[in-house]
Amino acid sequence: MSRVMSSPVARYAWLAATLLLLVLLPLTDSATLINVATKCLIAGLFAMGFNLLWGQMGLLSFGHAAYLGIGTFATLHMMNAIDEGWGLPAPLLPVLAGALGVVVGALMGWFASRRTGIYFAMITLAVAELTHVIADKWQGFFGGEAGVRSIRTDWWLFGFQDATSVYYYCLVWSVLLVIALWALLRSPFGLLMYALRENEERVRFLGYRTHSIKVVGFAVSAGVSAVAGSLMAFMNESANASMFATLTSAEVVLNTVIGGSAVFLGPALGAAFNTLFGYYIGGLSHFWLLYQGLIFVLVIMYAPGGLGGLFSGATRQAREGRLAHHAPAYAVGALASLLIAVATITVVELVGTVMGSSYRVLRLTSGETWPPVSLWGIDWHPLGIGTFTFVLVLIGAGTVLLRWAMASHRQALDRIGSET
Amino acid sequence: MVMDYFLVSLLNGVIYGLMLFMVSSGLTLIFGMMGVLNFAHASFYMIGAYIGYLCSLHLGFYAGLVIAPLVVGALGVFSERLLLRRVRPQGHTHELLLTFGLFFIFEEVIKVFFGNFAVPYQVPAGLDFAAFSVGSIEYPFYRLFIGVVALVMFVAILAVLQLTRLGIVVRAAVHRSDMVAALGHNVPTVFTALFGGGAALAGLAGAVAGAFFPTSPTMASDLGTLVFVVVVIGGLGSLSGAVVGALLIGVVTSFAVGLNVSLASLAASLGLGDTLTQMGGLFTVSLSSLAGTIPYLLMLLILLLRPSGLLGERS
Amino acid sequence: MLTVNDLHAHYGKSHVLNGVRYQLKPGEIGTILGRNGSGRSTLCKSIIGLLPPTSGSVNLGGRELAGRAPHEVSRAGIGYVPEEREIFLNLSVDENMTIGRKKGIPGAPTWTPEELYDLFPRLRERRRVKAGSLSGGEQQMLTMFRTLLGNPLMILIDEPTEGLAPKIVGVVRDTVLEMKRRGIGVLLLEQKLSLALQIADHVAVMGHGEIVFEGSVEEFRANHEVRTRWLEVS
Ligand SMILES: Nc1ncnc2c1ncn2[C@@H]1O[C@H](COP(=O)(O)OP(=O)(O)O)[C@@H](O)[C@H]1O
Ligand SMILES: [Mg+2]
């Protein structure tokens, strides 16, 4: 977690503003937006749970889909039970699902935490694959291809029949859990978890049972993930075994890295970013997963702190009055990235279209010529000089600008280094 | 009849295992030398299949068997030299995540070029006949061809590692790369070569196997976890372990597919009545479906009981 | 000539080498004595590049080597025999020798495997055996031979006789003297004062990451204060 604290006022101002925005969001009255925002909340909570293991304890899990899925299916079955007349208050569903997640997580954590590093990751991966195979085949519980369906039941004064009420339901749960996580990280136990990551040997010498600390961490992490799964069940009212696939486990890693695992809310930020990205860019392009993968690799290579790291770095510079030094480099860097991004997108979209089956038909009907492709409101000739020039000029200019920005950024850092 | 089934399954399993070894050998050596578990390794297998497909359209099938490993090997060198090496100072986790991202990108790039579905990469007509028949089962010659290519590669890999100086250096570096460096070997360059070589092998495996098995964008993720299972079971970094792990997994998966009984029916045939059927749940699921769990169960057991793997030497 | 000047090195935050100065000529044997933990092994690792120095200079015949990668330092003519006898256990004796083989720099003495096996014939008898099954003494000799096959001009040998039987210690001594005879500069780190003082041309003492004494063997023997202050266990 971030050991660099920003000033309390600035911190809480950001938080309060974000929270206010989230609370007021349903005023937009756009069902789509509210639905996407709900997905952001759930993915964010899942990533926060995942990052308790990674960010705090340095344990990389490649199998968190299992705990998300357990929460989802447990909740679906409980919702069906309510529907059949069991007197189970709806708001309690995440509590029960979370408790189940904690129990399963403690068990799996007990095994996985006996190893560290890559071996830990491999155990979590094996557990998740195992769960996936079982979920796939065990139709009685997981419902096979069709999956399990259920419906939300109203409770007391609360009706859950519209997107807004589901959104608030998820918001309340997410905020509560994030606060609980925050408190946990700042508790003596949270510090122990962090110390474990830095120097396990020393923590052991101090007389702590490090394995137990890891098991508790794993259990809490799985529990939070199961709550996220429960919210997902509540939102979608259905699920099938495909949610246990490796892709789900991979997504939470992606979200956390892009958001930044060293900043408390970084994973939530990354999850929101990727969810919005998937929704809006996914609507515009078939190839959005490729763009997401490219962003991921760029973050790994050039901004290992993720979006959260960039954000907290910039606010720190602003507070120390140094942002002005860096502003030109940042602006030029952003421009350069934009140019390179436009060039990349152009190439990908043109290639993707030209290789597609509908274009093949077009070519056949046009007598084996290369009909133009429309993109950004312009007609591009796939093999035209103009297309190549456009792409090369953009990439060339972008590279030059980017190099300049990086050099100037480094100079600014050196200048500050020599002043202090 | 049972005997026929047994023989065919065994042969299929061994051949599949040899092919798994072609993909796993690079992965396990790369891990042994640098401690990087390369998530993108199975992607090299997928890319090899697609390049083989492209070649089969324009230059012929056999050209693909040469071009695919070359191109994929170059891609491996490029990935290591320009990407992986840059994040190395930040530690193994970053390297792991980078390969994870590459895995993602490779799959999506393939989709950009070839679409989301399988491409019709075919066994060439010259190799498409039945080699022999076992009972009523006609055994495709191409399976044997895959087996022979894998066997030749297997011998070639072992020969290079056992007999050449480069092979000896690689084996030494898998255990103590710092001492190898102190004796004057450029370990990063050796590693790049190993990375490229491992990629090339995976690419060749893809070009060969892709003509028989479906060539689709998911073939990397389908094989990827299985390859991890192989190297973990054999012992990360252990080449002989990869041999054993690959054959074991190959045979296990091959036998499992054909077993069409459930625990409940097994119990019934043993005279235990229908109790299990009535209990339902997991007991009525057919064993062949559950067989999919065997590799992961094995992997878990190994990780928990003997993390250095069946033949691994390091703890 | 190997010249180390003002060399500093850290393990994480702990400052282990604190401005070391040292010189060694080809064809002479220098020894550095010191208590356990005084930083002698670290000095070797910093020179060879396994622990890159944080500042200072390592110079061999006018060529600056500080901060270079280990393989570059090795190729520049410096051999290293580590204290843990890091042979490749999974490889045969001959394969271990193969890994050490390389062309030396011009003017450096050269060695062949057969010459080396002559110095210690028992290793020749076991040349096809896995190195992991060798005895401690055989492993030590293999480590030295392996490095010598790289034809170094200078060699750093870290505690070669630790835990060895007296007979093998004699073989180690003869091998080191043969290196000197052929013109290699040997930096010998030893716990056994007797062996070091018997064959060394000059003696240095290290304490807290610095060279605190330098002189001839006679000067060292005469200097009671240095011995009590920096070497004997209080
Ligand atoms: N790998 C290491 N990590 C951290 N500290 C080390 C390491 N190796 C040695 N040290 C420390 O560096 C100091 C010098 O050690 P070393 O060079 O091995 O001394 P010597 O060889 O003279 O006995 C000691 O205090 C030791 O604890
Ligand atoms: Mg020492």
SS3 call for A314: helix
Q: Which range, of A69-73, A383-387, A412-416, C125-129, averages the lowest pLDDT?
A: A412-416
List B residues 182-221 in contact with A (Cβ-Cβ < 8 A).
221
Question: Which residue in A18, A112, A58, A42 sits closest to A261, CA to CA?
Answer: A58
Mean pLDDT of C125-149: 94
Q: Taking 90 as the threshold, does the pLDDT of residue B93 lie above it?
A: no
Mean pLDDT of chain A: 87
Range of the domain at C37: 2-230
Q: Which helix (H) or strand (E) holds B140?
A: strand B137-140
pLDDT band at C63 (very low <50, low <70, confident <90, very high): very high
Give the separation between CA A329 and CA A306, rounded to whole angstroms: 18
Nearest beta carbon to residue B281 from set A130, A138, A292: A138
C50 vs B172, B182, B313: nearest CB: B182
- Helices then strands, each counted (H, E), chain A: 19, 4
DSSP type of residue A148? E
Burial of residue C83 (number of CB atoms within 10 Å: 0-12, 13-18, 19+): middle
User: Is the residue at B308 inside a domain?
Assistant: no
Establish if B261 touches chain A: CB-CB under 8 angstroms.
no
Q: Is A379 exposed, middle or buried (0-12, 13-18, 19+ CB in 10 A)?
A: exposed
Q: What pLDDT does residue B157 have? A: 86
What is d(CA C99, CA B182) in angstroms, rounded to the nearest whole number?
11
For A29, the token pair is: 């009255």
pLDDT band of A3, cuts 50, 70, 90: very low
Q: Which pLDDT does position B271 carry in this prediction? A: 62
- Would you say residue C234 has pLDDT above 60? no
Looking up tokens 């399993």, which residue turns up? B13
* A215-224, A367-376, B10-19 — most confident range: A215-224
CA distances from B229 to A127, B24, B201, B303, C185 (A): 12, 10, 18, 10, 51
The pair of structure tokens assigned to C168 is 């093998």
Task: Among A228-242, B23-37, C2-16, C78-92, name the one with the lowest average pLDDT.
Answer: B23-37
Compute the average pLDDT of residues A90-105.
92
Question: Domain residues for B94?
Answer: 2-219
Which atom of ligand 1 has the smallest separation from the CA of C14?
5
- Touch test C–B: 3 Cβ pairs or more under 8 Å: yes
| Total tally of structural domains belonging to chain C | 1
Please tell me the residue having the least CA distance from ligand 1 atom 26.
C37
Does C135 contact B at CB distance below 8 Å? no
Beta bridge partners of A366: none
pLDDT of residue B287: 63
A79 pLDDT higher than 60: yes
pLDDT on residue B261: 55
Residue in A with minimal Cα distance to B114: A355
Average pLDDT over every residue of A347-356: 86
Q: Rounded mean pLDDT of chain B?
A: 86
Burial tier of A286 (Cβ tally within 10 Å: 0-12, 13-18, 19+): middle
CB of residue C45 inside a 6 A radius of ligand 1: no
User: Is any atom of ligand 1 closer than 6 Å to the C-beta of C40?
Assistant: yes
Distance between CA atoms of residues B162 and B28, nearest Å: 16
Contact A/B (≥3 CB pairs under 8 Å)? yes
Q: Are A258 and A125 in contact (CB under 8 A)?
A: no
**Subunit contact B104:A114, Cβ cutoff 8 A:** no
Give per-residue pLDDT as tens, A142-163. 888 888 888 877 766 667 778 8
In sequence order, what are the residues at sequence separation of 6 or more whose Cβ sits closer than 8 angstroms to the Cβ of residue A133? B289, B290, B292, B293, B296
> CB–CB of C69/C144 below 8 Å?
no
Contacts of C48 in chain B (CB under 8 A): 182
The answer to whether residue B170 is domain-embedded is yes
CB of C103 within 8 Å of any CB in chain B? no
Q: What share of chain A is helix, strand, coil (3-state, %, to 5)?
A: 80, 5, 20
Residue B69 in this model has a pLDDT that exceeds 90: yes
For residue B145, the one-letter residue type is F
C21 SS3 class: strand
pLDDT at A2 (0 to 100): 42
Lookup: tokens for C90: 């999974």
Residue with tokens 């350069």: A336
Q: Does C75 touch chain B (CB under 8 A)?
A: yes
Q: Is the ipTM of this complex over 0.95?
A: no
Reading the block at residue A42, the tokens are 């759930």
Ligand 1 closest atom vs CA C189: 21
Under 8 Å CB pairs connecting chains A and B tally to 119
- Per-residue model confidence (pLDDT) at position A419: 57
CA distance B232 to chain A (A): 8
* B315 confidence band (pLDDT: 50, 70, 90): very low
| C-beta of C39 in contact with ligand 1 (< 6 A) | yes
The CA distance from A16 to A66, in Å, is: 33
Residue A302 CA to its chain's centroid (Å)? 19
Residue B170: list chain C partners with CB under 8 A.
none
Give yes or no for residue B197 having a pLDDT over 60. Answer: yes
Q: Do C80 and B182 touch (CB under 8 A)?
A: yes
Is B189 inside a domain boundary?
yes
Is C146 near ligand 1, meaning CB less than 6 Å away?
Answer: no
Residue B113 banded pLDDT, cuts 50, 70, 90: very high
Domain spans of chain A? 2-246, 322-419
Tokens of A339: 């140019």
β-pair partners for B160: none
**Averaged pLDDT for residues C149-155:** 96
- C-alpha A207 to ligand 1 mean position (Å): 26
Residues A297-316: what's their mean pLDDT? 87
- The chains found to touch C (3+ Cβ pairs under 8 angstroms) are B
Please report whether residue B204 resides in a domain.
yes
- Which run of H or E residues covers position B284? none
What sign has the CA pseudo-torsion B279, B282, B288, B291? negative
CB contact under 8 A, B183 and C86: no
Q: C105 — contact with chain B (CB < 8 Å)?
A: no
Alpha-carbon distance A262 to nearest alpha carbon in chain B (angstroms) = 14
pLDDT at A363: 83
User: How many Å lie between the centroid of ligand 1 and the Cα of residue C39?
Assistant: 6
- Token reading at C8: 């500093």
pLDDT tens digits, one per residue of B75-91: 999 999 999 999 888 88
CA dist B263 and A137 (Å) reads 13
How large is the angle between the packed helices A163-186 and A8-24, nearest 10 degrees? 160
Q: Which residues does chain B have within 8 Å of residue C69's beta carbon, measured at their own beta carbons?
A: 181, 186, 188
Residue B102 has pLDDT above 50, yes or no: yes
Kindly report the nearest CA distance between residue C157 and chain B, in angstroms: 13
Give yes or no for residue A106 having a pLDDT over 50: yes
Does residue C126 belong to the interface with chain B, where contact is any CB pair within 8 Å? no
Reported as a single tens digit per residue, the pLDDT across B204-234 is 999 999 999 899 999 998 888 889 999 999 9
As a whole number, mean pLDDT of residues A235-264 equals 91
DSSP state of B84: I
What distance in angstroms lies between residue C32's CA and the mean position of ligand 2's atoms?
11
Per-residue confidence (pLDDT) for residue B283, from 0 to 100: 62
Task: For residue C209, give the ligand 1 atom closest to its CA.
Answer: 14
- Read off the tokens for A195: 């110390």
Give contacts of B175 with chain C, Cβ < 8 Å: 88-90
Bridging pattern class, strands C185-189 and C154-158:
parallel
d(CA C80, CA C152): 9
Chains C and A touch each other (3 or more Cβ pairs < 8 A): no
Q: What is the C-alpha to C-alpha distance for residues C53 and C46, in angstroms, rounded to an integer?
A: 5
- Whose CA is closest to B101, among A179, A255, C183? A255
CB of C41 closer than 6 angstroms to any ligand 1 atom: yes
Containing C185, the helix (H) or strand (E) segment is strand C185-189
- Please check the confidence at residue A304 and state whether its pLDDT lies above 90: no
CA of B191 to the centre of ligand 2 (A): 30
Question: Does some domain include residue B213?
Answer: yes
User: For position C80, which CATH number holds?
Assistant: 3.40.50.300
From its phi and psi, is residue C129 left (phi > 0), alpha (psi between -120 and 50) or beta? Answer: beta
**When comparing pLDDT for B124 and A415, which is higher?**
B124
Count of CB atoms within 10 A of residue A162's CB?
11
Instruction: Report yes or no on B295 lying in a domain.
Output: no
- Average pLDDT on A24-35 reads 86
Q: How many residues does chain A have?
A: 420
Which of B171, B182, B186 has its CB closest to that of C91? Answer: B171
Query: pTM score, two decimals?
Result: 0.87
**Cβ–Cβ < 8 Å for A387, A381:** yes
Among B262, B231, B236, residue whose Cα is nearest residue B248: B231
Helix (H) or strand (E) holding B117: none
- Do the chains contact at A287 and B112, CB–CB below 8 Å? yes
The 3-state DSSP class for residue B68 equals helix
Quick one: pLDDT band at residue B272, thresholds 50, 70, 90? Answer: low
- The pick from C17, C32, C41, C191 for probing ligand 1's pocket by mutation, whose C-beta has the most ligand atoms within 8 angstroms, reads C41
Q: Nearest CA to CA, how far is A158 from chain B (Å)?
A: 36
Q: Which long-range contacts (CB under 8 A, 24 or more apart) does A310-313 make?
A: A310/A260, A311/A260, A311/A263, A311/A269, A312/A2, A312/A4, A312/A6, A312/A260, A312/A263
Segment A11-18 shows an average pLDDT of 82
C13 lines ligand 1 (CB under 6 A): no
* pLDDT cut 90: percent of chain A above it: 40
**C13 or B54, higher pLDDT:** B54
* Cβ–Cβ < 8 Å for C149, C100: yes
Cross-chain Cβ contact A290/B35 below 8 Å: no
User: What is the tens place of the pLDDT at every residue in C164-204?
Assistant: 888 899 999 999 999 999 999 999 998 778 888 999 999 99
CA–CA min distance B2, chain A (Å): 26
Residue B61 falls inside a structural domain: yes
Task: Tell me if C32 sits within 8 A of C20, measured CB to CB.
Answer: no
| Ligand 1 atom closest to the CA of C12, numbered from 1 | 4
Q: Which residues of chain C does B165 touch, with a Cβ-Cβ cutoff of 8 Å? A: 98
Closest CA to A272 of A98, A18, A1, A16: A18
Concatenate the DSSP letters of all residues of C165-233 into one string: -HHHHHHHHHHHHHHHHHT-EEEEE-S-HHHHHHH-SEEEEEETTEEEEEE-HHHHHH-HHHIIIIIS-
CA C226, C230, C231, C234 torsion-angle sign: positive
What gap in Å lies between CA C228 and CA C207, rounded to an integer?
Answer: 12
In whole angstroms, how large is the CA radius of gyration of chain B? 21
Cβ atoms of residues B108 and A293 within 8 Å: yes
For A332, counting Cβ atoms within 10 Å of its Cβ (0-12 exposed, 13-18 middle, 19+ buried), the class is middle
Stretch B229-252: mean pLDDT:
89
- Cβ of residue C37 lying under 6 Å from some atom of ligand 1: yes
What residue type is C58 in one-letter code? V
Q: Which residues of chain A does B263 touch, with a Cβ-Cβ cutoff of 8 Å?
A: none
List the structure tokens of B16.
């599949």
The C-alpha atoms of residue A198 and residue B219 are separated, in whole angstroms, by: 38
